[in-house]
Amino acid sequence: MLATDDSARESVVKETVGPTADEIAGGRVVDIIQHGEDVGAPIAWRADTLHVIGDVLAGDDDSYTLHGVPATGIAGDRRGNLYVLDASLGRVLSYDTAGRHRATFGNGRGEGPGEIMRGRILVVGPGDSIWVFDRQLLRFTGFPPGDGVARTVALPSSSRQLAGSFAVWNGGFLYQPDVPAATAAVLPMDRPVREPVSERLATMMNQDSHAIVALSGVEVDTIWSMPAAPVRADTTTETPAWAGPPRTRVTVHAMRYAPTLRWAQLSDGAIVVADNDRCEFRIVTVDGREVQRVVRDMPPIPYGEADRAAWLKVRQEHADTVTDPFVRSSIRRTIATASFAETVPRISSIHVDGSDRIWVRVRLEGGPPNARIDIYRNDGSFLGWLPDMPLPRAFLAKNRAAYLRADPSTDVQQVVVIRYQLGEN
């Protein structure tokens, strides 16, 4: 079993400022690497565009025309080949290091073998196998890198959805179940609202959502978990659009800026995890053992009005672009009832590149958009930092990366592949 005993992981970081310190946590030795707040000057950085894939003028060859690539639909293999999930057509397109189309995987949209109904996430796993998570069929569909039969693995019924990423290892899958921003129950007005209603809703919303689990065959084990996010319950009265008596709606909301799991996978299968509001991350093996913790001396940021304004601006802009009146109303109701945590987590995202370097977006004081990108080697040593910038949708082998964009003149989706150089390249 891969279950992790949370109490066994509790420990106190020694107040030393040396490069490493050892900590005994439940009989386990965790290597602690501590860094001060000062990061010095930014590291040298250069990026050059190699090629752009996606052309409305591609003619009869639709291998270079993209139709609905999701933000999590780009990946690469060990040899530097690029893979793009073309969700609208139920296929995965592969391109070589020169941007030439080399293969297409998938039998189109559908529910049959090798078919993809609503592809959401693309990952390249061991042996360069290609895996797609289907958000409608709730299954993983895998394609061998050469000729072969597609394989499907159903998501356990206990997991309703994925939170935006999954990883493949030799024994199965690592994934994080999704967490809704809010969940609600509607009761007749003549039924009293009791506290257990909101408690049950909170339990439903947080169930398995703050954990990374391993799926091997039919067995599901938790390999890492964190405390459930704080929630708030609201009770309102609403009148149905159709004839009927008023009703009571009990809604439980997740608090904005509450810490959530951010994680990425290293090439050996271990994962990099950030799960609190401090500037620290952990290296965790696939059997749930924390082996290293990297800590930077930067306390959590107190929540302020600038953070609220930034969150509201993004949500309002989203609401203004939605044409469905029901969805737009739901978004605006979420905006009106939003509540916020007392602190803002220092780490907002974690990525691992093709050389196993760890890219960490760190929030700075002063509210959004103040941030920087800290880069660490996989041994926890600090390589340097970059001013904040849009990070690639996928890091590829050979110091390459891929961005997803819309062509400025045609609004057609494109994948831009770059080669980047850091100070140590």
Is 63 within the bounds of a domain? yes
Is 167 within the bounds of a domain? yes
Query: Residue-wise pLDDT tens for the chain (425 aa)?
Result: 233 333 322 233 333 333 344 444 455 678 999 999 999 889 999 999 999 998 766 556 788 888 889 999 999 998 999 999 999 999 999 999 999 999 999 999 999 999 999 999 999 988 889 999 999 998 999 999 887 889 998 887 766 677 678 899 877 888 887 755 544 444 443 444 344 444 544 454 444 456 777 877 666 788 888 877 667 666 666 666 666 677 666 666 778 888 888 999 999 989 999 999 999 999 999 888 999 999 999 999 999 888 888 888 888 888 888 778 877 887 887 788 788 889 999 999 999 999 999 999 999 988 777 899 999 999 999 999 999 999 999 999 989 999 999 887 888 899 999 999 998 65
Tell me the residue range of the domain where 222 lies.
Answer: 17-31+50-296+394-422
For residue 235, give every residue at least 6 positions away whose Cβ sits within 8 Å of its Cβ, in sequence order, or none. Answer: 193, 248, 249, 250, 251
Is 45 within the bounds of a domain? no
Token digits for 308?
Answer: 């609220």
Predicted confidence at residue 353, as pLDDT, reads: 95
Is the Cβ–Cβ distance between 129 and 143 less than 8 Å? yes
Q: Measured between alpha carbons, how far is 291 from 10 in angstroms, rounded to an integer?
A: 13
Q: Measured between alpha carbons, how far is 26 from 3 in angstroms, rounded to an integer?
A: 15
**Stated length of the chain:** 425
**What domain count does the chain have?**
1
Token digits for 157?
Answer: 């019924």
Is the Cβ–Cβ distance between 325 and 313 less than 8 Å? no
For residue 350, give every residue at least 6 positions away whose Cβ sits within 8 Å of its Cβ, in sequence order, or none. Answer: 262, 263, 264, 272, 273, 274, 281, 358, 359, 360, 361
Q: Measured between alpha carbons, how far is 308 from 160 in angstroms, rounded to an integer?
A: 30
Predicted confidence at residue 250, as pLDDT, reads: 65
Is the Cβ–Cβ distance between 85 and 132 less than 8 Å? yes
CATH code of the domain in which 131 resides: 2.120.10
Is 342 within the bounds of a domain? no
Q: Measured between alpha carbons, how far is 193 from 201 in angstroms, rounded to an integer?
A: 13
Is 379 within the bounds of a domain? no
Q: Measured between alpha carbons, how far is 156 from 138 in angstroms, rounded to an integer?
A: 8
User: Can you list the alpha helix ranges (DSSP code H) found in 253-324?
Assistant: 305-321
Is the Cβ–Cβ distance between 223 and 286 less than 8 Å? yes
User: Can you list the alpha helix ranges (DSSP code H) found in 139-223?
Assistant: 195-206
Is 9 within the bounds of a domain? no
Predicted confidence at residue 192, as pLDDT, reads: 43
Q: Measured between alpha carbons, how far is 353 from 375 in angstroms, rounded to an integer?
A: 10
User: What value does the CA radius of gyration of the chain take, rounded to a whole number of Å?
Assistant: 23
Is 194 within the bounds of a domain? yes
Is 405 within the bounds of a domain? yes
